[in-house]
Structure 1
């Protein structure tokens, strides 16, 4: 088990580093997502969830649909969130990059400085959390450490986004890791795997759903009269039963029209769960940093450094 966590972490770390260098003026989000997912497969791992590329006020859960023409612009705060699995054991990591290019043509120096500090703030929140993790630590204390570190930079955490525990073939395994003191007395135990992901923002620190659904999870078997929809559900049950999947993967397999209709019908019947992109409530910029750690008696091992 531990060997699989470590191997997945090394794969994610290398791809995260390489993909980050692509984040600059003119890069298509589709190309970035495709690179990350293709590289995970080339390394012999599985994709734990669709690569997320969430820009500026979008905090999480954006991945490219088919034929996505979204372009990254200089100065954008691009949150790259990726995950790989080895034998079902998951590494989940994220980083925020300020896209390279002629940034001063879009932002004032004060704005550039503030956004750079916001990147530092989410990273500081993660470091503070990791320093807190050990066998027996209460979740509330991890959240308090994150909140304090981000507040020291003058920003807010995202209060309604949390990290999560990981288990074999289970990305969100039941334990939520807060980014503030939520009074949760639950204690972590040695051997548990968790993904810690602080978000920092100039906004009020809450996200709402944005339009669109690009990421899905299988929920339940349901009967469908339309044979094509039943066939798509069968495909999902076979290939994506346990981990989130991209609508793009389905339209690539079945075509945009047929796949798109099936995804709508399956979502409507709650055979699959559709995830909307998450937008900061006031439209303010957001940064994120995330690592996967394994809880130890007197600390933790970070698998995604």
Structure 2
């Protein structure tokens, strides 16, 4: 939880990260159209982030239809956009201080599902203030999404962000609960409603392209050692994509490091096959009189 109001230097870094993220996300949305590959959009957005800020807080997530999170294209992925529900989730860091935002592009002809997540986010933001419990914010999200006739994804949630930590407390649920914590001045939180046509529970799929450093330890294998050195130097504790690594045998090295508990993998999280998921997300800092939206 917060240690109080952010100092001006820290707040300036969060603001810069948020401003860059808003610009890049707007530019990336314009690239999403049938015939364009997921990899083209991901690499465009990531290159723009690297150009305008210190780096990506995590790989660009491009989730399609029933996918909700942790989907990013592989190194040689040729998958093209077609007629699906497309969620773009991006993160930017400035000196490790993170802004996280997401938007849904509807190529499927289901605009109300997109509206449900967006209006749920608006309602959640209206509730943000010091002393407000996170469960109350979650209740606003749930009420709006269910009011549209959809279901919130109950086992995904918003979260705090901190320096070099893309997922920390407090947790912002996507449902009402009596077991929340009070928001405090200085909390920096990413609020992200997910609305779905499905049952509101995601499970792990088989695809895995995103990893982060779990623990640092010595490794004997040369390729694995080179991958670990790159991760520590360039990404620290932030998530990274397998396609970002320079080592020619990176995939084998990742498997070895994951088996040794050095790296943690993030499988794609999915609703039931045939369902659709939409997402909306902003990062805000809680202030004495409410909040400041860093990614608006």
User: What is the CA–CA distance in structure 2 between the aligned matches of 1:201 and 1:43, rounded to whole Å?
Assistant: 34
Which of the residues 118, 137, 156 maps onto 2:151? 156
Instruction: Kindly indicate whether the alpha-carbon contact (under 8 Å) linking 1:6 and 1:303 is maintained by their aligned counterparts in 2.
Output: yes
Say whether residues 1:302 and 2:293 are aligned partners.
yes
**Match status 1:191 vs 2:186:** yes
Is 1:145 aligned with 2:136? no
Across the aligned residues of Structure 1 and Structure 2, the Cα RMSD in angstroms comes to: 1.2
Q: Which residue of 1 aligns with 2:69?
A: 60
> What's the TM-score, normalizing by structure 2?
0.94
- 1:159 alignment partner, SS class: coil
The answer to whether structure 1 residue 222 and structure 2 residue 212 are counterparts is no
Deviations 1:131-171 (A, max 9, x none): 00000110110100000011111100000000110111111
User: What is the deviation of 1:299?
Assistant: 1.3
Distance in 2 of aligned mates of 1:61 and 1:130: 24
Q: How does 1:140-289 map to 2 (within 5 A)?
A: 140-250=135-245, 253-255=246-248, 258-289=249-280
| Whole-angstrom CA distance in 2 between matches of 1:226 and 1:44 | 34
Tell me if the contact between 1:222 and 1:269 (Cα under 8 Å) persists in the aligned partners: no
1:80 matched residue in structure 2:
88
Separation in 2, partners of 1:31, 1:198: 26
- Structure 2, unaligned stretches of length 5 or more? 1-9
SS in 1 for 2:47: helix
2:12 to 3, 16, 35: 3
Following the alignment from structure 2 to structure 1, what is the Cα–Cα distance between the partners of residues 238 and 222?
A: 24
User: Distance between the aligned counterparts of 2:180 and 2:192, measured in 1?
Assistant: 19
* Conserved? CA contact 2:134–2:172, under 8 Å: yes
Point out the structure with the larger strand share. 2
SS at match of 1:213: strand
In 2: Cα distance, 1:184 partner to 1:29 partner = 39
Q: In structure 1, what is the equivalent of residue 7 of structure 2?
A: none
- Alignment map for 1:129-144 (pairs within 5 Å): 129-144=124-139
How far off is 1:224 after superposition?
Answer: 2.5
How many residue pairs end up in the alignment?
287
Could you say what secondary structure the match of 1:172 adopts?
strand
SS at match of 1:148: helix
State the Cα distance separating 1:282 from its structure 2 match: 4.9
